[in-house]
Amino acid sequence: MIAKFTNYQELSAFGADKIIQLVQQKPDAVLCLAGGDTPALTYDRVVAKAQEAGVDFSGVIFIGLDEWVGIQPATPGSCYHFLQQKIFGPLHIQKDKIYFFDAMANDLKAECNRIDLAIEQHGGLDLALVGIGMNGHIGFNEPGVDAALNAHVVELDEVTTAVGQKYFTSGAALAKGITLGMTQIMSAREVVLVASGPKKAAIIREAIQGRITNTIPASLLMAHPRVSILLDAAAAAELD
C-alpha cells in the first residue's frame, strides 16, 4: 500500500505504530531498522510509545541494515551510533540482541557471512524499515545492484558519498559500504519504506510509477507482497 500523510509527524506516528504493534504481537520479532534522517522521528515515537504503553522490547532481535566501511561505530554519523542513540540506548537493548555490521573488520566478507547467518538463525526478518536514497538506493543497494545478493560490500555510488556527508560533522572518507542485500530485504515478511520532503519527490515517482528495475533498487520493492510506502505530502508531490 502507498499511504500519503499531511506531514512528517503523521508519517512518523504511523511508522512507529507499525513497529509497536508488531512487537506487541511478537515480542521476539526480528527488526531491521535503517539509519538516515527520515526514520529519526519514527524511532523517537517508538521509544515514547514503548515507554508509555510498557511495551517490552527485551526479546526483539535487531539486524543492522548497513554501515559505512571504515567508520567507527562510536563515530556520530555511523548507522550504529544513530541507532544506539535513537533506539538501543533508550530502550536498553542488550548487546546480544543486536547484530550489526562491524565496518572496521579486516575481513568484511566474514562480517557479511556472520550477518547472513544471524538472519537465518533467527528465522528471517519480520520487518524491514528502510529509507530511499536520492538515487533510489535501499540500504546500500546502489543503482545496478545484483538483486540476488545477500549481505555484501559495495563501492558506493557518488550520489551516496556526496549526500552521506550530511551525517558527519567533519568531512568523512566515504567510499565503500556494507549492506544487507535485496534478497534479504525482499524476504522480510513486511517492508516499510519511509520518504519525506521535496528532495525525494522525483525518485519516489520513478520508484513507484516507473518500471521495476535494479537501476532504481527501490522499485524492486513494488514486487513485495507486503510493502507499505509511507510518504509525506512533499515526497508524494510528483505522483499522479
List residues near ligand F6R by CB under 6 A.
Answer: 34-38, 65-66, 79, 130-133, 137, 139
Determine whether 206 is an active site residue.
no
Instruction: Find the helix packing angle between 8-25 and 40-53, rounded to 10°.
Output: 50
Determine whether 102 is an active site residue.
no
Determine whether 240 is an active site residue.
no
Largest CA distance in the chain: 47
- Between 25 and 169, name the residue whose CB sits nearer to ligand F6R: 169
At 80, list the grid cell: 550504529
CB 12 to ligand F6R: min, Å: 12
Of these residues, 102, 111, 126, 142, which one is catalytic? 142
CB 84 to ligand F6R: min, Å: 13
Of these residues, 10, 135, 150, 238, which one is catalytic? 135
Strands 30-33 and 2-5: unpaired
CB 164 to ligand F6R: min, Å: 8
Q: What single-letter amino acid sits at 154?
A: V
- Between 139 and 181, name the residue whose CB sits nearer to ligand F6R: 139
CA 223 vs. chain centroid, Å, equals: 18
- Between 66 and 111, name the residue whose CB sits nearer to ligand F6R: 66
Give the SS3 label for residue 74: coil
Contact 117, 103 (CB under 8 A): no
CB 102 to ligand F6R: min, Å: 15
Determine whether 137 is an active site residue.
yes
- Between 93 and 185, name the residue whose CB sits nearer to ligand F6R: 185
- Between 15 and 35, name the residue whose CB sits nearer to ligand F6R: 35
Containing 193, the helix (H) or strand (E) segment is strand 190-195
Contact 33, 129 (CB under 8 A): yes
Residue with smallest beta-carbon separation from ligand F6R: 131
CB 208 to ligand F6R: min, Å: 16
48 CB-near residues (< 8 Å, 6+ apart):
none
At 181, list the grid cell: 542485500
Tell me the catalytic residues: 66, 135, 137, 142
